[in-house]
């Protein structure tokens, strides 16, 4: 079973905190990898808030391929940053030759383009780069989106931390929201794309457990939007449904939970909004999940939330102090990084509950 974690803070946080959060939950993962997405970036990226950042791990040729694709379209590179690496014999890690984080300026043609058009452009670019990298086995592109940075690596999380010097706090590599997991999706092949968290157009999701309706989810999602691809992990479905419900259908967030874990028919008939929920259930029956899962999600505006499967077969806990909220699988992680919080304020969400953390770190909870 995977352990997952998310940190949202009023201040910029270094990835070492995420590593510490996950390390005490180590018995729950198999040291097969480390992946994280940082949102609302500080440090060296703080000055580039509105501009898309390309996150890749690839060969030298891979960089060239990606840059060519972007330049052809009119993107101009403004800034790039690569983490300094510290290879050492004995480190359990399978590093890629390059870790690329590049900030781009939109093509001039898009200066006055509507936001939506720009957002589609970014997806198109990422898909084009991914296609080329895959075709020639040149590496991986994880995200191309403003204020988002993705790192996914195979190996022992502690060693990966050492390799990138992530254990040591510094000021140039920070974010206000960090989501992380310390393993690969080891059910199947070890593939970098298969590691949580997953990201699309400002939406992040990570989950644990098994998506037993993976096949149904995937079959429908494949037809819904060009960005719903890959499916290297059954958990990607949670992200795509979130994106579809919230961004494509423009339904309020409460309907995400209604889509993935619909209320039983017997209860529906007793609710005022039963007919709406029944229609959603009918229409999106193939996006339901029916396995044991906890999902943590982040919306483009930085809203953080968590919810569980309808049987409550996976744990999750929310802990917080005045500056930071942490959502993770086990309380030991929170104890590690927020030892002085009031643990009586910890929240253990129920199977019908959704816990949402807004930008002021206010907690909103509701029963489905």
Partner 1 sequence: MATVKVNQLAKDDLFWQIDYKHDRCTLCGKCVASCPFQAIEAKVEKRRKVVSEDITPNPKVYFQTIPVIKQVISEYNFCRGCGICEKVCPNDAIKPVRNSDHRFQAKYRATVADPFKRGGRSNLETDGRTLDKIKVGRISQMTDPSLDAQRHTFDMRAPFGRVLAPNEIPLEVDSCGRLVLKNNLPPVRWIYPIIIGDMSIGALSWRMWEALAIATAYLNEEVGIPIRMCSGEGGVPVRLLKSRFLKYIILQIASGHFGWNRIVNAMPHMVEDPAGVLIKIGQGAKPGDGGLLMAKKVAKHIQEIRGVPKADLLSPPNHQGLYSIEESVQKMFLSFNAAFKFRVPVAIKVAASATSVSVYNNLLRDPYNIVGGFFLDGIDGGTGAAHEISLDHTGHPIVSKLRDCYKAALHQGKQGQIPLWAAGGMGKNWNLAADAFKMICLGANGIFTGKLMLQLAGCVGNDMGKCNACNTGLCPVGICTQNPTLVKRLDIDKVAENIVNYFIAVDHELKKLMAPVGNSSLPVGRSDALISTDKSVAERLDINYAC
Q: Point out which span in 16-24, 113-121, 284-292, 297-305 binds partner 1 (CB under 8 A).
A: 284-292
Q: Give yes or no for residue 367 binding partner 1 (CB under 8 A).
A: no
User: Read out DSSP for 315-328?
Assistant: --EEEE-SSEEEEE
Q: Give yes or no for residue 209 binding partner 1 (CB under 8 A).
A: yes
Q: CA-to-CA distance for 261 and 278, rounded, in angstroms?
A: 12
Least distance from partner 1 to the Cβ atom of residue 86, Å: 35
Q: CA-to-CA distance for 74 and 56, rounded, in angstroms?
A: 19
Nearer to partner 1, 144 or 228 (CB): 228
Q: CA-to-CA distance for 294 and 110, rounded, in angstroms?
A: 39
Least distance from partner 1 to the Cβ atom of residue 246, Å: 12
Q: Give yes or no for residue 210 binding partner 1 (CB under 8 A).
A: yes
Contact 327, 318 (CB under 8 A): yes
Q: Give yes or no for residue 214 binding partner 1 (CB under 8 A).
A: yes
Q: Give yes or no for residue 223 binding partner 1 (CB under 8 A).
A: yes
Q: Give yes or no for residue 366 binding partner 1 (CB under 8 A).
A: no
Q: Which of 154, 280, 327, 354 binds partner 1 (CB under 8 A)?
A: 280
Nearer to partner 1, 24 or 293 (CB): 293
Q: Point out which span in 7-15, 41-49, 310-318, 349-357 binds partner 1 (CB under 8 A).
A: 310-318
Mutual angle of helices 236-243 and 214-221, in 10-degree steps: 40
Q: How many residues does the chain have?
A: 368
Specify the DSSP element, H or E, that contains 354: strand 353-357
Q: Which of 20, 92, 118, 216 binds partner 1 (CB under 8 A)?
A: 216
Q: Which of 220, 242, 308, 327 binds partner 1 (CB under 8 A)?
A: 220
Least distance from partner 1 to the Cβ atom of residue 203, Å: 17
Q: CA-to-CA distance for 194 and 122, rounded, in angstroms?
A: 21
Q: CA-to-CA distance for 130 and 225, rounded, in angstroms?
A: 16
Q: Give yes or no for residue 27 binding partner 1 (CB under 8 A).
A: no
Q: Give yes or no for residue 359 binding partner 1 (CB under 8 A).
A: no
How far apart, in Å, are the Cα atoms of 18 and each of 37, 73, 194, 268? 10, 36, 19, 40
| Cis-peptide into 367, omega within 30 deg | no
Least distance from partner 1 to the Cβ atom of residue 265, Å: 5
Binding mask 116-135 for partner 1 (x = CB under 8 A): --------------------
Residue 187, both tokens: 């059910």
Binding mask 249-268 for partner 1 (x = CB under 8 A): xxxx-xx------x-xx---
Q: CA-to-CA distance for 19 and 345, rounded, in angstroms?
A: 23
Q: Is the dihedral of CA 39, 196, 6, 19 positive or negative?
A: negative
Q: Give yes or no for residue 212 binding partner 1 (CB under 8 A).
A: yes
| Residues contributing to the site for partner 1 (CB under 8 A) | 1, 187, 209-210, 212-216, 219-220, 222-224, 248-252, 254-255, 262, 264-265, 273, 275-276, 278-280, 282-286, 288, 290-292, 310-311, 313
């Amino acid at each position: 079973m995977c352990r997952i974690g998310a940190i949202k803070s009023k201040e910029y946080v270094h990835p070492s905190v995420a590593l510490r959060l996950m390390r005490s939950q180590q018995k729950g993962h198999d040291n097969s990898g480390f992946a994280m997405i940082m949102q609302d970036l500080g440090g060296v990226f703080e000055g580039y808030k509105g501009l898309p950042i390309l996150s890749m791990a690839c060969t030298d040729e891979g960089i060239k391929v990606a840059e060519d694709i972007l330049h052809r379209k009119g993107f101009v590179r403004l800034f790039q940053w690569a983490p300094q690496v510290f290879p050492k014999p004995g480190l359990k890690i399978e590093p890629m030759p390059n870790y690329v984080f590049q900030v781009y300026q939109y093509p001039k043609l898009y200066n006055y383009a509507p936001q939506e058009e720009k957002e589609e452009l970014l997806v198109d670019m990422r898909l084009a780069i991914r296609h080329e990298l895959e075709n020639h086995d040149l590496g991986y592109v994880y995200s191309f989106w403003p204020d988002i940075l993705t790192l996914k690596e195979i190996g022992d999380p502690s060693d990966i931390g050492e390799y990138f010097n992530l254990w040591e706090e510094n000021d140039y590599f920070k974010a206000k929201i960090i989501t992380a997991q310390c393993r690969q999706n080891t059910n199947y092949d070890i593939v970098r794309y298969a590691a949580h968290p997953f990201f699309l157009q400002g939406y992040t999701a990570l989950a644990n457990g098994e998506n037993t309706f993976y096949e149904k989810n995937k079959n429908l999602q494949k037809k819904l939007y060009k960005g719903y691809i890959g499916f290297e992990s059954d958990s990607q479905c949670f992200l795509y449904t979130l994106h579809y419900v919230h961004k494509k259908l423009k339904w309020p967030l409460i309907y995400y939970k209604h889509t993935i874990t619909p209320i039983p028919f017997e209860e529906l008939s007793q609710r005022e909004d039963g007919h709406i929920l029944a229609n959603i259930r009918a229409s999106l029956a193939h996006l339901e999940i029916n396995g044991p899962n906890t999902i943590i999600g982040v919306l483009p505006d930085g809203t953080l939330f968590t919810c569980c499967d309808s049987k409550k077969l996976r744990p999750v806990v929310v802990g917080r102090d005045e500056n930071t909220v942490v959502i993770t699988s086990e309380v030991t992680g929170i104890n590690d990084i927020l030892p002085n919080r009031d643990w009586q304020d910890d929240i253990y969400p129920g199977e019908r509950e959704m816990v949402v953390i807004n930008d002021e770190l206010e907690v909103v909870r509701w029963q489905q």
